[in-house]
Amino acid sequence: METYHEPLERAWEEYGVPPAIVTAVIGVETMYGRYLGNYRVLDALVTLAFDYPPRATFFRKELYEFLMLVREERQDITDLRGSYAGAMGYGQFMPSSYRAYAVDSDGDGQRDIWNSRADAIGCVANYLSAHNWENGAGVAIRLEVDREFRELPENSFSDMRPNMTGSQLLEMGFKIPSTHLDKTVALIRLRSDAESEYWLGEWNFYVITRYNRSPMYAMAVLQLAQALRIGKS
């Protein structure tokens, strides 16, 4: 965050996504570029498109998107490297996400998510912004429960998209801040060996799950971002 303060601040100004969130996504995805993946993207996508029936439709679409992007970006099709699933660069974009959300933040005429830190920062910020990140809003709040609280059925946690009010959570036995009683929120449960954690998920928590649909992923991004803010202050 210190080294790339300027591109992070520019991305915040342009897309409304805080530096700590962008930095946390890149940290969770690739350890800040240490693990970009060393599979040829072409090989990975062809293998999954034609030899992995459960998700063949998805990966055939991504293969098409990859063929399009190498032509658009004037890249050598055999040079580009990524994960075993074809995810690429600092933010691990699939080809369809690259074509839709990658940006040229450093102004060199190319959207380079492998080598340009500024482009990688702009891409992640643009992705979250395009999924309606709310600048200045919260992400999630850890919930406490009343003494008489009973474990909820599994179908209570089927949707990470905010779909109830804080007042409804209050009626279910959770302690809700007065500032969130009238807000539309989601109830998130994170399981561990010791206990279940309950969280009030705001819209921005849902936006992070558009990057990766796991609530554990979104919580990792949130808690890393919080640690980064503390470390910077």
Amino acid letter, 33: G
Kind plus residue range of the DSSP H or E element containing 89: none
Residues 6+ apart with CB under 8 A from 214: none
Of 127, 109, 134, the closest CA to residue 185 belongs to 134
Sequence-distant (6+) residues with CB within 8 A of 81 are 36, 37, 38, 39, 40, 41, 88, 114
For the chain, report the end-to-end CA distance as a whole number of angstroms. Answer: 12
**Half-sphere exposure (Cβ direction) of 209: Cα atoms closer than 13 Å:** 19
29 part of the active site: yes
Options 14, 29, 62, 73, the catalytic residue: 29
Name the DSSP letter for residue 194. S
Q: What phi and psi, each to the nearest 5 degrees, are found at residue 9?
A: -65, -40
212 vs 102: CA distance, rounded Å: 17
Name the residues annotated as catalytic: 29
